[in-house]
Amino acid sequence: MISAFLVIMVAASTPCQISAVRVNQGPAIDGLLSDAVWDGARRESCVFTQYGPHFGQPMSEPTDIFALHDEQYLYFGFHMPDPDPSTMMDALTPRDSYVTGEWIAVLLDTYGDGRQATSFEVSLANSQMDSKLYPSGVWDYSWDAVWKSGTARVSNGWSAEMAIPFSCLRFDDTDSTVTWGVNFQRILSKNVENGWYVLTATRQMADLANFAPLNGLHGIQRALGAELRPYAAHRAFRHTALDSWDDGSEIGVDVKLGISTGVVADLTINPDFGQVEADAVEMNLSHFELFLGEKRPFFLEARNVFDMPFNMFYSRRVGSVAGNGEVIPIRGGAKLSGSFGSDWKFGFLDAVTGAVRSGADLAQPAANYGIFRTYRQFGSYGRLGVSCTSREMWEQEGRDRSFNRAAAVDGAVELNGRTVLSGAAARSWNSGRTDDGAYSIGLERLRGTFTYSLSGRHIGEDFDVNGTGFTTATGYRSGEGNAGLTLRPDRIFSEVGFGVSSRYMEGTDGAVTARTASLNSQASLKSGANIGVDVSYRGNRFDPYEGPSGHSYGDAADVFVQAGSNPFNPFTAWAGVGGGQYEAGGSFANVMARARLRPSAALDLGVQGQYFTTSGSENYNWTLGDYDTRSTEWKSLIVRANYLFSPALNLRLFSQLSAFDRTFDMTGSSTGSEVRTNLLFSWQYLPGSMLYLLAETQFQSDESGQFHKPNLGVYAKVTWFLPV
């Protein structure tokens, strides 16, 4: 048993120093470390420190690290001994998808200020992952770069090489005194060890404030060339009910231009935003739309810069779906983002969407979206920022000009350590509505064994940023509080967490619209198995969005219990069961389960399901024109299969059966069911260049529950990555 003092000393120590040696020409990236150029690199044999399963203890095997650089690339070489190589697992997986196996990762803080890092991860099978990391602990895997890696099994373990182009990194090359920060992570599957080059005393993975220095970098400059990604696509879709086919071809291009070492311009002409991966259908019994994740490359670049208070920018508003169900086309877009030094960040985005017609009528006017965000950073968490958004629709075919605009200022101050005081103020201007404002304040303790947050906000009755952002409720005041404690015992459990949260919200008229309290606890065993329980209580409240004038509901309580096996084992299973009093009266039950099987390194099978039912709730029946007793039933079954021929070539199946039934006592029931299936073949035939072939079917039922013949679709797309 390691004492607390020893844990801190071991975790905060750095066993070796990494220095990148300048060379004229780098090695061939084949994973073998056999090129003569590696002989000139400093070999550092380091023993990483475990984050899990035994926090603070040394890993069972050492890791040898080599570093080189030339004018274009930063190179890392690794030799990872294993006395029993037969136990090593390849970890063959699609890009940015983790499975258990042998992994090595490089994390770079290129400004050396603890505000952002970039990770490059490779498995024994040469599967790649890359992401952006932030001080809050978030890993954003939506970011993708084009870089080289190679891996090889050797007699006493395995080796890996990485070539990271300076062109995919942002850094300040005007200040020769800036030292980059670096950290490394190694996953050793044999003992399920997760080890770190620097593991800090805060007991956090990848604490950006405590990276080690990367020495030896000099005379480097970020390439300011261009990257072109032209594409060609063809889609054909058969509407069975209309007995007709819709088809069409498109070409377009995305361009990335390096303006300076810290500033990048992104341009897009006739972008193809057809998603090759469909959004899963989700249950939604609330009054509000679902918040969907972004998948389109143009919006993913530097998206953290565009994070704004009060959700002023929701990128899926641009090129969303019109009222007639058609996707709104984006004619073109431009984005400028980056930093001036390490302190100033900024982003500007402009996009023009085309009109959508429904027969002879204009279903959705053309529009221009303008988004701007800039902020000055102070320390790891301090900032002062300004945000502006605008959607302008000019006069079209008899429709009057309209606009949606908003602006905000926000700031944060580090009080001590990781305690942050933050606040924001915003105002919206919308045609046909009164101008109104919103305000917030918060206090938060981040990334420690004990964390907490306190916040309050006021949202004006007419404050609305839905033109460019995501506004759910307006006209309210709210306060929230959360606290959490995380422990990492030496025995049985690898982590145990406890949390408590509460929320109070009232309308500007004084009516209480929410008062909740919840307790939760979760634990992970040394084996990787996990258990958890959540208990919630909601007091009496008024729902202003139920029916034409709102409705009052009594108190309610519920519980949810979950348990699962190690999610990274070849076979894993998880299940959760919940129930209690429903928030709109009556009761509910919720059963969820998922299982995953990897019978071989190349094949991955998964299934997940949910059954959610409510009964006896009191809801407004718009057909009846009065309140009625309602019951609902939601069923969803999702099947996924993935076969990898190689890290660059795979075949994926996604299929979902969803069914929803709603019954009012006075007017009867309505039913809707759907079966959606996508089969996707993807091939990265050159680094950064992709071929997609997609086949899809959609079965939909009528009100009687009978399925119609399926709609059918095929889609083909090829992209080229052309560095200039």
What are the tens digits of pLDDT across the range 75-126? 999 999 998 888 899 989 888 888 888 999 999 998 888 888 999 999 999 9
Q: 16 with 54, same domain?
A: yes
Q: What is the pLDDT of residue 205?
A: 73
Q: Is the dihedral of CA 163, 169, 172, 178 positive or negative?
A: negative
* Contact predicate 248/232, CB 8 Å: no
The confidence score (pLDDT) of residue 2 equals: 38
Closest CA to 228 of 689, 717, 685: 689
Q: Where are the alpha helices (DSSP H) in 71-151?
A: none
Number of domains in the chain: 2
Nearest to 684 by CA among 640, 645, 724, 643: 645
Spell 375-389 as b/e; 16+ CB within 10 A means b.
Answer: bebeebbbbebbbbb
> What integer best gives the mean pLDDT of the chain?
87
Q: Are 265 and 334 in contact (CB under 8 A)?
A: yes
Looking at the predicted structure, is the pLDDT value of residue 301 above 90?
A: no
* Cross-strand partners of 119: 107, 131
Quick one: pLDDT at residue 178?
67
Half-sphere exposure of residue 275, counting CA atoms within 13 Å on the CB side?
15
Residue 503 inside a domain? The answer is: no
- Model pLDDT for residues 379-402, shown as the tens digit of each residue: 878 899 999 999 999 988 878 899
Three-class secondary structure assignment of 627-673:
EEEEEEEEEEEEEEEEEEEECCEEEEEEEEEEEEEEEECCCEEEEEE
- By the 8 A CB rule, do 575 and 564 touch? yes
Q: Are residues 113 and 237 in the same domain?
A: no
Residue 411: Cβ within 10 Å count: 18
Tokens, residue 601: 């390194």
- Residue 650 one-letter amino acid: N
Q: Which one is predicted more confidently, 707 or 282?
A: 707
Q: Is the pLDDT of residue 609 over 80?
A: yes
Q: Are residues 166 and 236 in the same domain?
A: no
What is the structure's pLDDT at 9?
Answer: 38
Q: Angle 70-72-73 (CA atoms, 0-180°, nearest 5)?
A: 70
Q: Are residues 698 and 621 in the same domain?
A: yes
- Does the pLDDT of residue 290 top 80, yes or no? no
Q: Closest Cα to residue 369, out of 297, 426, 306, 302?
A: 306
In terms of domains, do 61 and 114 share one? Answer: yes
699 burial type by CB count under 10 A (0-12 exposed, 13-18 middle, 19+ buried): middle
Q: pLDDT tens, 621-678?
A: 999 999 999 999 999 999 999 999 998 999 999 999 999 999 999 999 888 888 999 9
User: Does any domain span residue 510?
Assistant: no
Looking at 111-185, list the stretches that DSSP marks H as alpha helix, in order from N- to C-terminal side.
none
Q: How many helices (H) and strands (E) does the chain have?
A: 2, 44
Together in a domain, 144 and 236: no
Mean pLDDT of 302-309: 87
pLDDT bin (cut points 50, 70, 90) of residue 6 is very low
Q: How confident is the model at residue 233 (pLDDT cuts 50, 70, 90)?
A: confident
Is residue 342 a part of any domain in this protein?
Answer: no
Average pLDDT over residues 141-150: 89
**pLDDT score, position 177:** 60
Question: Is the pLDDT assigned to residue 3 strictly greater than 50?
Answer: no
| Tokens 């509505």 found at | 433
Radius of gyration of the chain (CA): 27
Size of the chain in residues: 724
Residues 240 and 209 in one domain: no
Residue 328 lies in a domain: no
Let me know the angle formed at the C-alpha of 149 by 142 and 276, rounded to the nearest 5 degrees.
35
C-alpha span between 310 and 288 (Å, rounded): 16
Q: Where are the alpha helices (DSSP H) in 78-186?
A: none
> Does position 32 have pLDDT exceeding 80, yes or no?
yes
Domain that holds residue 689: 232-244+598-724
Whole-number Å distance between alpha carbons of 432 and 399 = 14
Residue 320 forms part of a structural domain: no
Q: What is the pLDDT of residue 7?
A: 40
The CATH number of residue 39's host domain is: 2.60.40.1190
**pLDDT of 280 strictly over 70:** no
Q: Does 236 share its domain with 176?
A: no
pLDDT-based confidence at 286, cuts 50/70/90?
low
Ramachandran assignment for 262, one of left (phi > 0), alpha (psi -120 to 50 degrees), beta (any other): alpha
| E-assigned strand segments in 508-625 | 512-525, 530-538, 541-543, 551-553, 556-564, 571-581, 587-597, 603-621
When pLDDT is cut at 50, 70 and 90, the band that residue 4 belongs to is: very low
**How far out from the chain centre does Cα 22 lie?**
36
**Rama region for 708: left / alpha / beta (φ>0; ψ in -120 to 50; rest):** beta
Residue 422 lies in a domain: no
| Whole-prediction pTM | 0.81
Residue 290 lies in a domain: no
Q: For 282-296, b where at least 16 C-beta lie within 10 A, e where not — what string?
A: eeebeeeeeeeeeeb
Instruction: Count CA atoms within 13 Å of residue 469 on its CB side.
Output: 29
User: How far, in Å, CA of 542 to CA of 545, rounded?
Assistant: 9
Given a cut of 90, whether residue 514 has pLDDT beyond it is yes
Are 442 and 452 in contact by the 8 Å Cβ rule? The answer is no
Q: What is the pLDDT of residues 180-227, one digit of tens each?
A: 999 999 999 888 889 999 987 666 677 888 899 998 888 776 666 678
**170 belongs to a structural domain:** yes
Is the same domain home to 142 and 11? yes
The pLDDT of 334-358, averaged and rounded, is 87
One domain, residues 607 and 700: yes
DSSP letter, residue 37: G
Same domain, yes or no: 54 and 84:
yes
168: helix, strand or coil: helix
**Dihedral sign, CA of 99, 100, 102, 105?**
positive
- For residue 565, name the pLDDT band (cuts at 50, 70, 90): very high
Same-domain status, 633 and 692: yes
